[in-house]
A and B are shown apart, each in its own frame.
With several copies, the nearest count.
Chain A
Amino acid sequence: MDDKVTIARRVALELREGDLVNLGIGLPTTVARYLPAGVTVHFQSENGIIGMAPVPEAGLEAEFLTDAGGGYIGAVPGAAAFDSCMSFGLIRGGHLDVTVLGGLQVDELGQLANWMVPGKMVPGMGGAMDLVSGARRVIVAMTHTAKGEAKVLKRCTLPLTSVRRVDLLVTELAVIEPTGEGLVLRERAPGVSIEQVIAATEAHLIVPESVPEMAIGAAV
């Protein structure tokens, strides 16, 4: 299974019936494809809609219905559109159940850095700081390493997105839960050993007696 598919499929299992969910642009967006059958969640796009649906077929694009990346989207019956204050009021006010974001680094405090690399890449934080500070549950979906460099670190070296501890980190190797005691290794990807996860991780991992494989099955 492709690494990104592994991550997206595992994250999808975290979504619960009725949740309001915000998926970041890129990998997190693909989580929507792997929702378990029978689970209905409501997708928010922070540019101002609840009820976003997949890109419609060619020719049916609505000129003024787009996601936060500017791409065309659809809308479910019962969708609601609103301004940016309402959109972030929902996020900051604790009304957003889950946000799934990409990450550059996560550390032993569970803090996330995902919005800039000083001197190299300064895209701006967009809605990320509000999402990480405000969502009820923050799930980071990222590759475990980048070009061989660890991304799960003792302390983030890049500027933080928020001082808030994220709730879950899902990579192609593992599911890690940041806690008050540190990073707890909860699951391994299919076929991956605990030792392999530890070897790819700079941060100290707390390893419980049982670290099951992710229950994501074999294929889509």
Chain B
Amino acid sequence: MSKAVSVTRAVEMVPDGASLLIGGFMGVGSPHRVIAELVRQGRKDLTVIANDSARPGFGIGQLIDARLVRKLVTSHIGTNPETQRQMIAGETEVDLVPQGTLAERIRAGGFGLGGVLTPTGVGTVVAEGKRTIEVDGKVFLLEEPLKADFALLFCRRADYLGNLDYFLTARNFNPLMATAGGTVIAEPNEIVPTGVIPPDEVVTPHVLVDHFIEKGASHGR
């Protein structure tokens, strides 16, 4: 059974109210076709977990513009004044998480770990309401794992089985999110026959990937 699906079909799988891990850093390495289709289909009340919300009109910023996001778990919104406006107006809930902690929390969710013990945030507002654990005389914050109903990724190549690799700084959160989505959907820049990506260059093994977006009219640049 092929994992290839159209971007329309992929987004039809996502219900209103779903939680989404979305890859990318300032839009670089985000699944832009999937995001555009989420907007077109008007999927709403979403919880989005992502490094940032890019900027208005671009990447995850498009979901913010269209007011499809109820809650955003992210490390940085400084580049998107619309996200800041919605947060201050109480229209969108924003949970700010240190970037390294966000990455580890997603990996912990995907790898079956109970949480992350990090020195980051100890003694700051980030620590409020959280447990601290002392190990070998040092204090760490217990940060809980993160998972979501879907992980929406961008990758360099997908082979027919669903093995993925990535491009330079477009890798960022994508391989981590691949471990932590209930359904994992990858938007590849290129689709290649099985075996084209050598075993040592596969970053995300195919067993983690449920679907990848096939080429379509909107593909290519």
B47 to chain A, nearest CB (A): 17
Query: Which residue of A has the minimal Cβ distance to B81?
Result: A123
Decide: B78 and A88 in contact? CB cutoff 8 A.
no
Q: Please name all residues of chain A whose beta carbon is closer than 8 Å to the beta carbon of B76 when the two chains form the complex.
A: 123-126
Decide: A126 and B171 in contact? CB cutoff 8 A.
no
Q: Please name all residues of chain A whose beta carbon is closer than 8 Å to the beta carbon of B92 when the two chains form the complex.
A: none
B107: Cβ under 8 A from any A Cβ? yes
A107: Cβ under 8 A from any B Cβ? no
Select the stretch in A46-54, A182-190, A199-207 that faces chain B: A46-54
Decide: B169 and A48 in contact? CB cutoff 8 A.
yes
Decide: B99 and A130 in contact? CB cutoff 8 A.
yes
Cα A122 to Cα B167 with chains together (Å): 31
Q: Please name all residues of chain B whose beta carbon is closer than 8 Å to the beta carbon of A27 when the two chains form the complex.
A: none
* Contact-residue bracket for chain A: 35 or more
Q: Please name all residues of chain A whose beta carbon is closer than 8 Å to the beta carbon of B156 when the two chains form the complex.
A: 64
Instruction: Give B109-126 as 1s and 0s: 1 = Cβ < 8 Å from A's Cβ atoms.
Output: 011110000111111111
- Given the known inter-chain contacts A48-B25, A81-B202, A133-B119, please indicate yes or no for A92 contacting B100, CB distance below 8 A: yes
* Contact-residue bracket for chain B: 35 or more
Most B CB contacts (10 A, CB to CB) among A126, A127, A161 go to A126
- Given the known inter-chain contacts A77-B195, A88-B104, please indicate yes or no for A64 contacting B77, CB distance below 8 A: no
Decide: A48 and B171 in contact? CB cutoff 8 A.
yes
Decide: B172 and A84 in contact? CB cutoff 8 A.
yes
- Return the contact of B199 from the options A45, A51, A69, A91 (Cβ within 8 A): A51
Interface residues of B (CB under 8 A from A): 1, 25-29, 51-52, 54-55, 74-79, 84, 87-88, 96, 98-104, 107, 110-113, 118-126, 156, 159-161, 163, 166-176, 179, 194-195, 199-200, 202-203, 205-208
Interface residues of A (CB under 8 A from B): 18, 20, 42, 45-51, 62-70, 75, 77-95, 122-130, 133-134, 159-163
